[in-house]
């Protein structure tokens, strides 16, 4: 295996792409599906603390899992993450009191942090640059759909079975998900080269721009979406209605993944522009949720979901090839920056709404979305994935 040749995948089997999508789908399902379960704990402080602990552990663990996948292999890290996630959710189902969920969900966040960046690194190992946007978009669209289904299912499960049984079912799903890594080719462990952090510095200004942009883009791409369900509830909608409306996010994400190859064939780079326009429109519609909850909520959710695969998928694809000698570390830092930005964006939007009103929040978010779209058109333009940093591992997968 060398670090100077282009990766090729010759007509990858459907089973390979399905196996690739499984781990991110379980990660998204666990992260979003727990939200209705947290409200069922009966302890608001424990509920908020458990969600916060999860997100902090999820964000800070990314570079460490990425480094591990570079050193020990992608399949091994995916398997370890899924196994640890199953254990953490099993322990959450058995906690003697709600405050203990803060600890166990922190472990779950740590485990879940292994799944998405490692999968992105594996896509970078297996697909050439010109095909990654499509593969990444399909993978993240499947994960977004899983998040929507899990949110609905968890809400129903909490009502019918209780939160302990429902989170226990999430543990079982993580165990079953171990079949996914078993169906993947071995990858990672690149040939000897400079130390991984040294290799990362070789990305230079391009890397600094990408990671900085990922932070800001995460804030506007994922920052307002968590506010939709509470806004729908405050407008008089039930938990089921709020969940069903926000589930449009996952459906639209899947549709967006189908549109990406069509747009890119007609005009390379157009998916980023369309995604940016949807991002602007979706964030603008958030302001109308209190007055037209079902219509504005569903359309905003769908616009943000489609924007995620059209715009963000291209950014993810670029992150996979920035540092080929330390691809796991590079993608781990990228995902960590995205979700750190998302957490800050949600916090800022919530605080701004409480002090200035939802209209001011929407205006501020739309202005930042416009800046992100304009900047993204330059940063993610066709050809930005070429150059000295955009080398690929020599790994050929037969169908």
pLDDT for 223 equals 82
Class of domain 13-392 (CATH, top level): mainly alpha
In this structure, the number of other CB atoms found within 10 A of the CB of residue 226 comes to 18
* Helix runs in the chain, H state only: 14-39, 44-72, 74-93, 100-112, 115-126, 129-160, 163-176, 179-182, 196-201, 204-222, 225-234, 239-246, 248-266, 270-285, 293-307, 313-319, 327-356, 358-379
The vertex-76 CA angle with 195 and 134, nearest 5°, equals: 85
Residue boundaries of the structural domains of the chain: 13-392
Q: CB–CB of 324/127 below 8 Å? A: no
- Tell me the C-alpha distance between 9 and 12, whole Å: 6
pLDDT for 299 equals 92
- Tell me the C-alpha distance between 36 and 34, whole Å: 6
- Tell me the C-alpha distance between 319 and 313, whole Å: 10
- Tell me the C-alpha distance between 18 and 86, whole Å: 20
Q: With residue 8 as reference, give the H or E element that holds it.
A: strand 8-9
Q: CB–CB of 310/254 below 8 Å? A: no
pLDDT for 383 equals 54
Q: Which tokens sit at 301?
A: 């959710």
Residue written as token pair 């932070």: 215
pLDDT for 257 equals 79
pTM metric for this prediction: 0.74
pLDDT by position in tens, the chain (length 399): 333 333 444 445 556 667 778 888 999 899 888 877 877 787 877 877 888 788 888 888 888 888 888 888 888 899 999 999 999 999 999 999 889 999 999 999 999 999 988 888 888 788 777 777 778 878 877 888 888 788 778 878 887 888 899 999 999 999 999 887 877 776 655 544 445 556 566 666 777 788 889 899 988 988 888 778 778 777 776 666 766 777 788 888 888 878 888 887 888 778 888 999 999 999 999 889 888 888 888 899 899 989 988 888 778 777 877 777 777 788 888 888 888 888 888 888 888 888 888 889 889 999 999 999 988 877 776 555 443 333 333 332 322
């Amino acid at each position: 295996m060398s670090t100077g040749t282009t990766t090729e995948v010759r007509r990858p089997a459907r089973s390979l792409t399905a196996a690739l999508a499984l781990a991110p789908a379980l990660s998204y399902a666990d992260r979003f599906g727990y939200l209705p379960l947290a409200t069922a704990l009966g302890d608001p402080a424990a509920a908020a603390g458990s969600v916060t602990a999860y997100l902090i552990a999820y964000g800070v663990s990314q570079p460490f899992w990425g480094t591990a996948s570079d050193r020990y292999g992608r399949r091994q890290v995916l398997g370890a993450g899924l196994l640890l996630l199953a254990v953490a959710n099993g322990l959450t189902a058995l906690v003697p009191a709600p405050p203990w969920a803060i600890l166990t969900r922190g472990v779950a966040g740590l485990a879940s942090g292994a799944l998405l960046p490692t999968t992105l690194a594996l896509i970078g190992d297996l697909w050439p640059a010109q095909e990654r946007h499509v593969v990444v978009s399909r993978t993240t669209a499947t994960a977004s759909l899983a998040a929507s289904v899990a949110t609905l299912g968890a809400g129903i499960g909490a009502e019918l079975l209780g939160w302990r049984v429902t989170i226990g079912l999430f543990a079982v799903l993580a165990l079953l998900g171990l079949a996914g890594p078993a169906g993947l080719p071995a990858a990672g462990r690149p040939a000897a080269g400079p130390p991984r952090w040294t290799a990362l510095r070789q990305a230079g200004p391009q890397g600094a721009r990408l990671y900085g942009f990922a932070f800001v883009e995460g804030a506007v791409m994922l920052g307002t979406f968590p506010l939709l369900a509470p806004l729908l509830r405050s407008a008089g909608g039930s938990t089921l209605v709020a969940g069903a409306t926000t589930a449009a996010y996952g459906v639209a994400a899947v549709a967006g993944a189908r549109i990406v190859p069509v747009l890119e064939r007609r005009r390379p780079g157009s998916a980023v522009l369309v995604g940016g326009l949807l991002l602007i429109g979706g964030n603008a519609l958030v302001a109308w949720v209190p007055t037209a909850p079902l219509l504005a909520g569903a359309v905003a959710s769908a616009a943000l979901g489609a924007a995620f695969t059209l715009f963000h998928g291209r950014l993810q694809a670029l992150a996979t090839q920035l540092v080929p000698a330390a691809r796991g570390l590079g993608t781990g830092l990228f995902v960590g920056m995205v979700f750190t930005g998302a957490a800050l964006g949600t916090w800022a939007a919530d605080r701004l709404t409480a002090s200035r009103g939802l209209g001011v929040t929407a205006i501020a978010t739309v202005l930042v979305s416009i800046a992100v779209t304009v900047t993204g058109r330059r940063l993610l333009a066709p050809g930005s994935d070429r150059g000295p940093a955009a080398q690929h591992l020599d790994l050929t997968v037969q169908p």
